[in-house]
Amino acid sequence: MNAALRFGRSVGMEMLVKNKVIKRNGEEVTFNLSKIVNAINAANKEVDNIYKMNKYQVHAIADDIAQQVQRMSHAVHVEDIQDMVETSIMGMRGYEVAQKYVRYRYKRELARKSNTTDNGILALIEHLDEEVNQENSNKNPVINSTQRDYMAGEVSKDLTKRVLLPEEIVQAHEEGIIHFHDSDYFAQKEHNCDLINLEDMLQNGTVISETLIEKPHSFFTACNVTTQIVAQVASNQYGGQSFTLAHLAPFVDISRQKLKKGVIEERKECGESMDEEIIRKITEKRLRDEVKSGIQTIQYQLITLMTCNGQAPFVTMFMYLDEVPEGQERDDLAMIIEEVLKQRMQGVKNEKGVWITPAFPKLIYVLDEDNITDESKYWDLTKLAAACTAKRMVPDYISAKKMRELKQGNVYTCMGCRSFLTVEDSQRNPDGSHKFYGRFNQGVVTINLVDVACSSKGNMEEFWKILEERLELCHRGLRCRHERLLGTISDVAPILWQYGALARLKKGEKIDKLLYNGYSTISLGYAGLYEMCMRMVGKSHTDLEGRKFALAVMQRLNDKCKEWREAENISYSVYGTPMESTTYKFAKCLQKRFGIIPGVTDKNYITNSYHVHVTEEINAFDKLKFEADFQKLSPGGAISYVEVPDMQQNIPAVLSVMKFIYDNIMYAELNTKSDFCECCGYSGEILIQEDESGKLVWECPNCGNQDQNKMAVARRTCGYIGTQFWNQGRTQEIKDRVLHL
Catalytic annotation, residues: 192-193, 415, 417, 419, 441, 575, 580, 719
What is the Cα gyration radius of the chain?
28
Report the SS3 class of residue 422.
coil
Task: List the one residue out of 332, 337, 336, 340 whose CA is nearest residue 299.
Answer: 340
Contact 580, 136 (CB under 8 A): yes
- Type of residue at 631: Q
- Of the CA atoms within 13 Å of residue 219, those in its CB half-sphere come to 30
CA 431 to mean position of chain CA atoms: 35
Q: Which residues contact 727 (CB under 8 A, 6 or more apart)?
A: 130, 131, 134, 135, 581, 584
Q: Which residues contact 22 (CB under 8 A, 6 or more apart)?
A: 28, 75, 76, 77, 78, 130, 131
E strand residue ranges, 640-702: 640-643, 667-671, 675-677, 683-684, 687-690, 696-699
| Spatial separation of the C-alpha atoms in residues 585 and 175, rounded to whole Å | 9
Peptide bond into 250 cis (omega under 30): no
What is the sign, positive or negative, of the torsion defined by CA atoms of 26, 188, 165, 239?
negative
Task: List the one residue out of 97, 76, 77, 85 whose CA is nearest residue 19.
Answer: 76
| Spatial separation of the C-alpha atoms in residues 235 and 571, rounded to whole Å | 25
With the CA atoms of 163, 164, 166 and 168 taken in that order, what torsion angle do they form, in degrees rounded to the nearest 10? -80
Contact 636, 575 (CB under 8 A): yes
Phi and psi at residue 26, to the nearest 5°: 95, -10
Contact 403, 411 (CB under 8 A): yes
| Spatial separation of the C-alpha atoms in residues 497 and 232, rounded to whole Å | 12
Report the SS3 class of residue 666.
coil
Residues paired with residue 721 on neighbouring β-strands, in sequence order:
716
Peptide bond into 361 cis (omega under 30): yes
| Spatial separation of the C-alpha atoms in residues 679 and 703, rounded to whole Å | 8
Length of the chain: 741
Task: List the one residue out of 66, 126, 20 whose CA is nearest residue 696.
Answer: 20
With the CA atoms of 91, 97, 103 and 108 taken in that order, what torsion angle do they form, in degrees rounded to the nearest 10? -90
Give the other-Cβ count within 10 Å of 493's Cβ: 23
Contact 583, 589 (CB under 8 A): no
